[in-house]
Chain A
Amino acid sequence: MDRADADEEVQFPAGLRVLVVDDDVTCLRVLQAMLRKCRYEVTTCSQATAALALLRESRDSFHLVISDVHMPDMDGFKLLELVGLEMDLPVIMMSADARTNIVMKGIKHGACDYLIKPVRMEELKNIWQHVVRKKWTDNNRDVEHSGSFEEGDRTIHNNNTNINNNNSNKRVAEDAEYASSANDGGAPDGSGGWKSSQKKKRCTVKEEEEGETESADPNSSKKPRVVWSVELHQQFVNAVNQLGIEKAVPKRILELMNVPGLTRENVASHLQKFRLYLKRLSGVTQHHPGLPNPFCGPVSTNIKGGPLGRLDFETLVASGHIPPQALAAFEEELFTQNGSKQPVREIAFGQPLLTCGPPTTLTRQFPQSNSSNITINPSLDMPSSFSNWPSNNDLAQIIHHQQQQQQQVVGSGVSVPQPSASLNVQPSCLVIPSSQQMNTYQSSENTILASQSQSQGSGFQTGRGSLVQSPMMLPSQSLSSLQRVGPSSQSYQVKQGPSVITSQPSISGNSGYTNAGSVVDYNNSLISTQPKNLRFGVGQIVDEELNSMTAVSNNNSFSMPGMMSGMVNSGFGFNGARMSDNNRQGRRNNLGFVGKGTCLPSRFAVDEIESPTNLPNFSQIGAGDLVNPENFGLDGQI
């Protein structure tokens, strides 16, 4: 309608959600006032680690990040890179330091702009352009990519050559979902302008994506998206291990994998993400030595050490998706280079796995909290046996318990953003009614899904994909609030996740995990090449059998909003992919585990459910949407 359009125009770009990170409280205050005057929604954060946790927790909460260059707890450039890789959000750097070399450094690390302090109102008024530009560029890229191999190759090539270039990393060729999610962003909240413009883009892209995903024929004109399931990824990893990470080239990997329908481009793209992931691991490790995870009590920090270390793998192994030997081998390979530092370090997805219920095992799952992450492992002491879904009351108690734990844990030295950090974070916990299995990787395949199905009563949403809607999800309200936690704990392990999802008893829940598992590993390193939620670019093939929620669904299985995203995203995110009908729910999260980001806080999922505004509602997403997890809010949210 004209009227509506007019309203949109008037509003746009009001409502832009900006996260400002600066250790200088004076500057923060001034910027906050300025941004508010621009009618943007501002969140300030005086600690980079807190900001990262917040972003991980709910990637879709923000459209744009403004960060200072020099901060005591984390280098601004590092934050820039991480945000770019994991969340694929535009980042503007700012500093009183106007030296050309520093500005250049910012550009190289992928900043979409560099402001010199003192920042003036006029400069801030225009920051919205970066958000829009990025989305459009991503969309176009995806569109192009899907159309031709050449484009994809070029993109991949670019990515390979500009490892540190957030922008190109983000543009993984196959990351169509990302594009679509990027488009999303218009949740029906008040900012009509953003939403509608976002939606339009999303629709367009989605159509294309859907078309692609539907087609499983790699030789069709539209490139189908490859879903990097756990199995597939495992094959990939095996191939890489066999060749040696240094010598692993896409062609050879492809040959070794011997997967029909898989193209060299798919592998190349995946490899790139994987490399980034490894790089992150090593880079981050050095920068922020992983803190022992207080949360993960019994969990050894070393991935190899325990199943816990790597949640994802554990889960995956548990669920049978990854043979234990392979997992071990993989981890060995993966982390050897990094001196077996817990990759999690970076990832600390915000969402602490708030496992409802039995979760003792949960603790294991929590990745080590990195120094850079404020992870709170809420569920250290979850009851061990979860036979049935806890009632809401129980959940609430659990959450509360977890929160308490978190609080305690937090106090144990992990740098947790304090309220004074001008960030109001609540322990983010994924409240997932997930069955305990979810948490423990040992759990049987059923893990989450299964349990979920059992707990149907709990309000899980068994409907197809509508994770979000599952009442179980903890009263989504509470869930979301839980997730709000800033220092999201490592919960990225959300694996617990599936809770929400699909009622399908199919274990796919596991898959969720499995994916998560795999994801986790990768995720830790923030490899998330795809900033978006997992958009693994690889495309997600809707997998019919996904119902069983095999790993692919990582996302799906987690109804936990946070989980999915967190989980999947965190790592490589390749798990997202398979979106089967069952997994619809998951889709959001994890397609592709492309490292994106780690942690999509379950909160996110919840939020989505809860507030249609900020994310494309799951409910709004049709079956077709499932295919693209990105559609779920996470991405598009902007």
Chain B
Amino acid sequence: MDYVNIRRQAASIRKGLFDQGYLDEQFYQLEDLQDDASPNFVDEVVTLFFRDSLRLMANIDQALDKCAKDFNKLDVYMQQLKGSCTSIGASKMKTECTAFRDYCRDENIEGCMRSFQKLKREHSVLRQKLESYFQQLRQAGPIECATRPSK
């Protein structure tokens, strides 16, 4: 296996995620927390995030279906999701969460729905990219974990 190339690819994915605004500073913090004691920390947290966010988004979906006028509830769910996004540094998703909450505040249901669709897309894109990133990392071997490049 060409570890060098794999690692390069991983690094490239990672860089792209930052450059394109999918990830922000917080992700660096996660990477910093990874060490010998928890060598897969970032991967674990990200996995946890995607699992939990799916659940939250399902709740929102359901809420939009059943009680579309309950903006408070929608806001609460979205707040939870936003909190999660900030915890891993999912920047674009976080922005979309904020937009959704703004629509909630304005009681604009169409806006909410549009925003939510966008959020789901962002979620999906981010997940795909991160999954491929971690996959590369795993293939590349433990040597080069998600080390932060010199900032």
- Give the contact stretch, choosing among B2-10, B79-87, B129-137: B79-87
- Give the contact stretch, choosing among B45-53, B62-70, B119-127: B45-53
A106 vs chain B, min Cβ distance (A): 15
Counting CB contacts under 8 A, is B128 at the interface? no
The reply to whether B80 and A120 form a contact with Cβ atoms under 8 Å apart is: no
3 closest A-B pairs by beta carbon, nearest first, are A27-B87, A33-B33, A118-B26
- In angstroms, Cα B80 to Cα A140, docked, is 40
A336 vs chain B, min Cβ distance (A): 33
For the complex, would chain B's binding face be called helix, strand, loop or mixed by DSSP majority?
helix
- In angstroms, Cα B32 to Cα A117, docked, is 17
B38: A residues at CB distance < 8 A: 33
Given A70-B80, A118-B87 in contact, is the A29-B45 Cβ separation under 8 Å? yes
Considering only CB atoms, which chain B residue lies closest to A121 in the complex? B29
Within 8 A of B (CB), among A166-217: none
A296 vs chain B, min Cβ distance (A): 33
Q: Can you report 7 residue pairs joining A to B where beta carbons are below 8 Å apart?
A: A26-B53, A26-B88, A33-B33, A34-B33, A95-B83, A117-B86, A121-B32
Given A25-B52, A26-B49, A121-B32 in contact, is the A33-B41 Cβ separation under 8 Å? yes
Given A24-B87, A118-B89 in contact, is the A29-B29 Cβ separation under 8 Å? no
- In angstroms, Cα B88 to Cα A33, docked, is 13
Considering only CB atoms, which chain B residue lies closest to A97 in the complex? B79
Considering only CB atoms, which chain A residue lies closest to B49 in the complex? A26
B26: A residues at CB distance < 8 A: 118
The reply to whether B33 and A96 form a contact with Cβ atoms under 8 Å apart is: no
**A21-44, CB under 8 A of B: which get 1 and which 0?**
001111101100110010000000
- In angstroms, Cα B79 to Cα A23, docked, is 12
Given contacts A27-B84, A30-B87, A72-B76, 11 further A-B contacts (CB under 8 A): A26-B45, A27-B86, A30-B30, A30-B33, A30-B88, A33-B45, A68-B83, A70-B80, A96-B79, A96-B86, A120-B29
> Taking each of A23, A24, A27, A121, which has the highest tally of chain B beta carbons within 10 Å of its own beta carbon?
A24
For the complex, would chain A's binding face be called helix, strand, loop or mixed by DSSP majority?
mixed
A258 vs chain B, min Cβ distance (A): 53
- In angstroms, Cα B75 to Cα A97, docked, is 12
B89: A residues at CB distance < 8 A: 118
> Taking each of A26, A27, A30, which has the highest tally of chain B beta carbons within 10 Å of its own beta carbon?
A26
- In angstroms, Cα B109 to Cα A176, docked, is 56
Among A72, A96, A120, A121, which residue has its beta carbon within 8 angstroms of that of B83? A96
Considering only CB atoms, which chain A residue lies closest to B41 in the complex? A33
- In angstroms, Cα B49 to Cα A604, docked, is 35
- In angstroms, Cα B38 to Cα A37, docked, is 11
Counting CB contacts under 8 A, is B36 at the interface? no
The reply to whether A25 and B41 form a contact with Cβ atoms under 8 Å apart is: no
- In angstroms, Cα B88 to Cα A143, docked, is 46
A121: B residues at CB distance < 8 A: 29, 32-33
A33: B residues at CB distance < 8 A: 33, 38, 41, 45
The reply to whether B87 and A26 form a contact with Cβ atoms under 8 Å apart is: yes
Counting CB contacts under 8 A, is B44 at the interface? yes
B83 vs chain A, min Cβ distance (A): 4
